[in-house]
Amino acid sequence: MFEIKDNNDVDFTQRPNPIPYNYRLSYKVSQICLILKLSVARGGVSMTKIQMLASALLSDKEAERLVDLTNGFSWNYLVRYDPTVIRALKYGLFDGLIIQQDNEKYRLSDKGKEFVRKIQNDKTLMIREKEFLNTYSQKLTENVINMLMVQWRYDDVNNK
């Protein structure tokens, strides 16, 4: 990274530091826009739902956990609030792709809808993400999320 020379000068050496694709801001913004488009919620999409779907796209194991939840097989689900998703959401808001509504939920702007249309029309982009979201994003309803939170409260009371 850097080297301190004999004359007390500091010499920085630039090295490539690749960032995994799922932590790149451009990927996360695209992912969130797809989530908003394919969730098709009239009242917008909650931060919790965005986080849950983004987590499911991280790995097959996370996807399986979400599928089990939406199918009612397991209520043992922990929501992971990823700071990368929050940062990308803020960037999408700033860039005018995403709108935050008065009810604290999010939806796509016209610019965001056009951006997603381009992603959807390109059959080489985000193939796995599109397939998963087309199948499961509408199954994860706000009602399922609310029931999960009620279950957390119930479990918390029983653990005391």
Q: Is residue 78 exposed (0-12), middle (13-18) or buried (19+ Cβ within 10 Å)?
A: exposed
Tokens matching residue 18: 């690749």
pLDDT of residue 7: 57
What's the pLDDT tens digit per position in 32-48? Answer: 999 999 997 778 999 99
Residue 138 scores a pLDDT above 70: yes
pLDDT greater at residue 124 or residue 153:
124
Task: In whole angstroms, give the CA distance from residue 85 to residue 106.
Answer: 13
Task: In whole angstroms, give the CA distance from residue 125 to residue 127.
Answer: 6
Residue 88 scores a pLDDT above 60: yes
Residue type, 42: R
Residue 116 scores a pLDDT above 50: yes
pLDDT of residue 52: 97
What's the pLDDT tens digit per position in 45-72? Answer: 999 999 999 999 999 999 999 999 999 8
Domain boundaries, the chain: 21-158
Residue 133 scores a pLDDT above 90: yes
Q: Residue 30 to residues 15, 16, 35, 129: CA-CA distances in angstroms? A: 27, 24, 9, 10
What's the pLDDT tens digit per position in 149-159? Answer: 888 776 655 65
